[in-house]
Amino acid sequence: MSSIKTLFIGDPNLGYAGLDIVKKHFPQTESVIWRKGDKFGRECARQLIRSQKWDVAISFYNDLLFKPEDLDAMALPLNIHPARPELPGVGYDTVPLLDDHEMHGATLHTMNENIDDGRILHVLEKELPEALTGRELRRRNQKLCLELLDRTVEQISQAECWKEAENRLASAGNGEGREWSSNYISKKHVNARLEDLKSSDPKHPVFA
């Protein structure tokens, strides 16, 4: 069993399923399951994060924005973003349908002080079927996130330290040469597009 000290940060939507995956390899994993909008829970989460030094911290389907003091406690801070690098920000359950993307996916990357930034380690991608609804795309994205988490944790478990874990993830991944789009997608931008579409095409699959 690996001696790497791990921290898992998720939200109630998918966090418990993700934590089960992590604990298969790291039974002693500490965890934070935080619901967006819970101010008291957010401060409790930060206290736990900063309470000690973590070899590996995994942010998974998570809305908590990390401050420099949080990142300082993580030797290898990882995030699984529920979209391809071409879609930083939000809108991963809608934009691929609005813009007729051929692919959807999930991205494993290291974290820094910027949102959806850092070194891309692996992108798990699948073809996007035609006539998919917004609800179906969300389920597909969540499934890819869980698959990517399982792959990631298994590789980390084979390492003796966090640096070896990072090297394993990089060498086994397909992230080399991949870059984040500079077009960050905000919630305000997505909501505006959806409002316009609802007026012109209220039966668009994205609303189903």
pLDDT in tens, 135-192: 999 999 999 999 999 999 999 999 999 999 999 999 999 999 999 999 999 999 999 9
**What is each CA distance from 12 to 2, 56, 85, 142, in whole angstroms?**
27, 21, 24, 13
Angle separating helix axes 162-172 and 134-157, nearest 10 degrees: 130
Q: How does residue 1 score in pLDDT terms, banded at 50, 70 and 90? A: low
pLDDT in tens, 58-115: 999 999 999 999 999 999 999 999 999 999 999 999 999 999 999 999 999 999 999 9
pLDDT in tens, 6-25: 999 999 999 999 999 999 99
